[in-house]
């Protein structure tokens, strides 16, 4: 099974990656336009905005083949549930595992609407999603203090499993919901792959990658980053795709300058929140494009092999 690469342009972070655009178009993939709602969608949005995007994609870009969608900044990770929905429809999968690479658990409770830090609750509760496995987290959101803000019911019910990169409280395992979760920074690439393979119980897998899971040499993002190397990420997804049907994938975590849309109070709330939660340093834009395009091309190579 191979995926067709495509681009969902929400913030112009990908349109300046010329080689990526060339590869997408050479593979028959699409550059999907958002109709201008990207800034409104950024960080969080109400459901009607997300539905508008879903209708637009289905109307203008109906899915005919499993897709690898490059989405732009991690501030848009909440589009993943709708991409999973499209992938389930296109593949007619009955049960799939979502393999989620991220520096954050994206499991906060948020209402009304959906947040780039809350989408996991939706994805893990999709009927045909059997389990969501989050890999590579370092952020304090999973620590003793931070995890109180999470929707831990997901973990207790076994819908979400967590394999952190390291324990933010400095332990040698992560203690969460009466379970001990092993850390992956102590493991070889092969051991990480085998651990994840032992937790994937469906033949079908959907992969979502937030490049903030990667160390700073391998990605430049709008968020605090983890410690995983691109090499390890590629080795693990390569291993999984050898034995499982990948029904779809998406990639976020391309740095872009923040620009919000919508009414003034919504923009004010978002600027305030971003100021509190996101790093303040402004990376060099040309450098960000170079580093991120390299990672995107390698992910594309790993998931979009030539058709056999």
Q: How many residues bind Mn ion (CB under 5 A)?
A: 5
Nearer to Mn ion, 30 or 236 (CB): 236
CB of 190 to Mn ion, least distance (A): 26
Residues 46-65 that bind Mn ion (CB under 5 A): none
In the sheet that holds 129-135, the strands lie side by side as: 31-33, 4-9, 67-72, 245-252, 204-210, 96-101, 129-135, 160-163
> Binding Mn ion by CB under 5 A: which of 102, 141, 151, 161?
102
Q: What are the structure tokens assigned to 92, written together?
A: 């007619």
Q: Which is nearer to Mn ion, 13 or 21 (CB)?
A: 13
Kind of pairing between the strands at 44-45 and 114-115: antiparallel
Q: Which of residues 180-239 bind Mn ion (CB under 5 A)?
A: 210
CB 12 within 8 A of CB 75: no
Give the residue with the Cβ less far from Mn ion, 106 or 293. 106
Piece of the chain touching Mn ion by CB under 5 A; list 7-15, 96-104, 159-167, 174-182: 96-104
Q: Measure Cα distances from 141 to 7, 40, 152, 232, 301 in Å.
A: 30, 25, 12, 23, 32
Return d(Cα 306, Cα 1) in angstroms, integer.
10
Question: Which residue's CB atom is positioned nearest to Mn ion?
Answer: 210
d(CA 6, CA 250): 9
Q: Of 11-19, 62-70, 71-79, 200-208, which part binds Mn ion (CB under 5 A)?
A: 71-79
Minimum CB separation of residue 149 from Mn ion in Å reads 15
Residues 6+ apart with CB under 8 A from 203: 244, 245
The residues that bridge with 160 in the sheet, in sequence order, are: 132
Stretch that binds Mn ion, among 48-56, 82-90, 95-103, 241-249 (CB under 5 A): 95-103
With respect to Mn ion, which residue has the nearer C-beta, 30 or 226?
A: 226
Judged by CB under 5 A, which stretch of 30-38, 76-84, 170-178, 275-283 contacts Mn ion?
76-84
Site string for Mn ion, 9-28 (x = CB under 5 A): --------------------
106, 141, 161, 218: which one binds Mn ion (CB under 5 A)? 106
Using alpha carbons, list the distances in angstroms from residue 57 to 51, 144, 307: 10, 40, 25
Number of neighbours of residue 224 by Cβ within 10 angstroms: 15
Q: Which helix (H) or strand (E) covers residue 227, if one does?
A: none
Closest distance between Mn ion and the C-beta of residue 104, in Å? 5
Q: How far is the CB of 90 from Mn ion (least distance, A)?
A: 23
Interface residue with Mn ion among 77, 86, 115, 211 (CB under 5 A) is 77
Q: Nearer to Mn ion by C-beta: 211 or 244?
A: 211
Residue 91: name the closest of 71, 63, 119, 125 by CA: 63
Which residue, 29 or 74, has its beta carbon nearer to Mn ion? Answer: 74
> Which residue ranges make up the site for Mn ion (CB under 5 A)?
74, 77, 102, 106, 210
């Amino acid at each position: 099974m191979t995926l067709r690469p495509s681009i969902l342009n929400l913030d112009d972070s990908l349109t300046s990656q010329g080689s990526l655009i060339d590869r997408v178009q050479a593979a028959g993939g699409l550059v999907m336009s958002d109709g201008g709602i990207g800034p409104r969608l950024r960080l969080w949005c109400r459901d009607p905005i997300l539905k508008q995007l879903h209708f637009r994609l289905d109307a203008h870009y109906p899915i005919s083949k499993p897709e690898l969608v490059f989405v732009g900044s991690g501030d848009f990770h909440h589009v993943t549930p709708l991409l999973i929905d499209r992938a389930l429809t296109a593949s007619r999968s009955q049960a799939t595992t979502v393999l989620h690479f991220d520096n954050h658990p994206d499991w906060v409770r948020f209402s009304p609407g959906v947040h780039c830090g809350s989408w996991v609750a939706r994805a893990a509760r999709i009927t045909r999603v059997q389990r969501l496995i989050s890999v590579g987290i370092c952020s304090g959101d999973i620590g003793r203090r931070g995890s109180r803000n999470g929707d831990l019911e997901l973990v207790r019910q076994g819908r979400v499993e967590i394999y952190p990169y390291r324990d933010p409280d400095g332990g040698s395992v992560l203690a969460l919901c009466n379970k001990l979760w092993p850390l992956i920074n102590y493991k070889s690439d092969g051991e990480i792959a085998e651990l994840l393979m032992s937790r994937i119980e469906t033949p079908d897998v959907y992969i979502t990658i937030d490049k903030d899971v990667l160390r700073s040499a391998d990605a430049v993002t709008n968020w605090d980053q983890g410690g995983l190397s691109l090499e390890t990420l590629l080795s693990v997804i390569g291993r999984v795709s050898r034995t499982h049907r990948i029904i779809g994938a998406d990639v976020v975590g391309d740095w872009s300058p923040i620009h919000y849309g919508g009414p003034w109070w919504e923009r004010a709330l978002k600027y305030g929140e971003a100021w509190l939660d996101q790093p303040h340093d402004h990376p060099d834009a040309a450098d960000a494009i170079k580093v991120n395009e390299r990672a995107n091309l390698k992910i594309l190579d790993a998931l979009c092999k030539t058709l056999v």
